[in-house]
Amino acid sequence: MNPVVDIENVTFAYGDSVAVRDVSLTISEGDFLGLIGPNGSGKTTLLHLMLGLYAPDSGSIELFGEPVSEFDRGERIGYVSQQATSRGGTMPVTVREVVTMGRFPHAGHARLTERDREIVDDAMETVGITDLADQRANQLSGGQRQRAFIARALASEADLLALDEPTVGVDAESRDEFYRLLESLNESGITIVLIEHDIGVVTDRADHIACINQELYHHGDTESFVESDALTEAYGTSGQVVHHHH
């Protein structure tokens, strides 16, 4: 399998405060990777590094075999940030307009083609928001908004979806549905990196797990993680582990 993300010996500090220390991690095509660790352990920072939003202080990162600094994020990668979940944003754009933004890297400055419109419609259909197409995006529930952002990524024909705690503020039922959607997208060949504080969700859904606390404590398939001591080592005995209740 081709590496989609290849991180080698990456260290990054905010000023004097090291957030990610000497992390090496390869994510292969088709992986569904759960990225876990206690609060403040560097998960979001590592994701931002992967996406080229920050440059590492040392080490290297490649996306699809290219240095991340030269990678055009508009293509191949869909990113759903934590902030995407919250309300706010008063721009009165419709759901269809949000999803259509996914076509811009492809359409350039040209007008959208009939094919672009079809891709947008298909993306909305796939995530189940067709009937919300003409609603204002800022009037959606958290779960619906997440689906709109996923649809935007699908419209851009992303091969990699990076999600940072996508179900914060989403009710349990919508959350389950959302994770089933992620699973089926992954089965269709999309590589997924998911930050999720609920370890039960991660061990249920992800096929690989990376556990960090500044340093990488474990990376491997879910089974090897469950059998390892990485959880207690990375989280300590501070009781920060969030247990999952079915």
Residues that bind ligand ADP (CB under 6 A): 14, 17, 19, 37, 39-45
Minimum separation from the CB atom of position 45 to ligand ADP (A): 3
**Distance separating alpha carbons of residues 87 and 91, to the nearest angstrom:** 11
**Distance separating alpha carbons of residues 89 and 207, to the nearest angstrom:** 34
- Of residues 19 and 193, the one with the C-beta less far from ligand ADP: 19
Minimum separation from the CB atom of position 239 to ligand ADP (A): 17
Minimum separation from the CB atom of position 193 to ligand ADP (A): 13
C-alpha separations of 185 from 74, 127, 150 in Å: 19, 10, 10
Minimum separation from the CB atom of position 182 to ligand ADP (A): 19
Tokens linked to 15:
């000023």
> Where is 25: in which H helix or E strand?
strand 17-28
Buried b (16+ CB within 10 A) or exposed e, 14-27: eeeebbbbebebeb
